[in-house]
Amino acid sequence: MRRGVAAAVPALLVVCALAGCGSTVVRGGPQEGGATAEATADAPARQRAAEVAAAWPGSAQEKAWRSGYYPVGVPAEWLPPDAFHSGTDKDAYQSGRLVLAGGLPQTFSGLTQVRWADGSQLTLPLRSADAVFRSLTEGRPACNGTCGQPLTVTGAEPGTREVATSRGRAEIPVWRFRIAGYADPFTYPAVESQQPPSGPPEDVRGARSASFAAVSADGRTVTAGVAHGGCERVERTEAYETGAAVVLIARVRSTARPGTACDAALHVSPERFRLAGPLDGRVVLDLATGAPQVPTGAVDGGPARGR
């Protein structure tokens, strides 16, 4: 499996009708019965799923997911609706050509709070307005062609914004930067995620990851998007389960015929994964990265789209 296919799955946010396929329940622990050709072929993916599930309890990922600030799908910036007025403005922004007219707010305690809808809160280091400005101007690529006029930052002010996290909706502090010529601010998180870095996706022979989209009302069927090529189809699905986690495994088979051209686009099929018991509080882990997933809400059968 190409590494690009595994890496593309977690970013799928798409819509369409559901498609059926066979689903196998695989419980954690020793498997009964003698080995078959199919079981032998399935072994690498099940071994990987077992490793992913076993590594979750007590891990830094699990601790941040359960009790830390673990944002989900939160961008590094929120641009105003009219960004950008021209190609010159966009190029200036992307190449970090911003000049500061006046000072930025100074922070003293260096701490801030993330507040959840249930009333809980977490005190974390505050990302200063100066640190945000430096991230916008330092280490950026050079401008395209002839450099035009830079953008002028006229000031910044604190604010808040509601975001999605592993613990539900939360209110986080942000910095709202004012740029000359733009009525609405350019907004940036003023707190860093506690999400630990994850390793590169691991290719698993004979299997694909799936992007968690939704769970049925009884909690026993998970719907997820599976990325595949134009000359591939999802043959069957599996759910590897333990008491703490579920790892989704999709089996993809080539449908290519000699002498025929295959669509180069990456497609996404909505697939169902049957569980032995309700999902309840168990986390869905990505087969390739081991990272936890939250439901995206929808999948479709069209080409995959990146962010």
Per-residue pLDDT tens over the stretch 1-12 = 444 444 444 333
Is the model's pLDDT at 302 over the cut of 90?
no
Q: Which of the 8 DSSP states describes residue 9? A: G
For residue 183, the number of C-alpha atoms closer than 13 Å in the C-beta half-sphere is 2
Is the model's pLDDT at 125 over the cut of 90?
yes
Please say whether the dihedral angle defined by the alpha carbons of residues 202, 203, 206 and 209, taken in this order, is positive or negative.
positive
Q: Which of 17-26, 38-47, 121-130, 220-229 has the lowest mean pLDDT?
A: 17-26
pLDDT at residue 264 in the model: 79
pLDDT at residue 261 in the model: 84
Peptide bond into 133 cis (omega under 30): no
pLDDT at residue 305 in the model: 38
Is the model's pLDDT at 275 over the cut of 70?
yes
Cβ partners under 8 Å of residue 39, min gap 6: 31, 33
Average pLDDT over residues 97-121: 93
Is the model's pLDDT at 117 over the cut of 70?
yes
pTM: predicted TM-score of the whole model, two decimal places? 0.74
Average pLDDT over residues 196-207: 84
Per-residue pLDDT of 261-271, as tens digits, reads 887 788 898 99
Average pLDDT over residues 12-41: 48
Q: How far apart are CA 217 and CA 296, in angstroms?
A: 16
Could you give the percent of the chain with pLDDT greater than 70?
A: 83
Do the strands 232-241 and 22-27 form a parallel or antiparallel pair, or are they unpaired? parallel
Per domain, the residue ranges of the chain are 3-67+198-293, 87-189
Q: Which of the 8 DSSP states describes residue 238? A: E
Q: How far apart are CA 286 and CA 276, in angstroms?
A: 18
H or E stretch at 237: strand 232-241
Cβ partners under 8 Å of residue 2, min gap 6: 203
pLDDT at residue 13 in the model: 32
Q: Are the C-beta atoms of residues 269 and 225 closer than 8 Å to each other?
A: yes
126 versus 21: the higher-pLDDT residue is 126
Per-residue pLDDT of 174-200, as tens digits, reads 999 999 999 999 999 999 999 988 778
* Cα distances (angstroms) measured from residue 69 to each of 75, 161, 188, 189, 190: 15, 14, 16, 13, 13
At residue 42, φ and ψ (nearest 5 deg) are -80, -15
Could you give the percent of the chain with pLDDT greater than 90?
A: 62
Burial 164-187, CB ≥16 within 10 A → b, else e: ebbbeebebbbbbbbbeebeebbb
Average pLDDT over residues 64-74: 92
Confidence of residue 23 (pLDDT cuts 50, 70, 90): low
CATH number of 87-189: 2.40.128
pLDDT at residue 4 in the model: 42
25 versus 16: the higher-pLDDT residue is 25
Q: Are the C-beta atoms of residues 200 and 290 closer than 8 Å to each other?
A: no
Confidence of residue 298 (pLDDT cuts 50, 70, 90): low
Is the model's pLDDT at 232 over the cut of 50?
yes
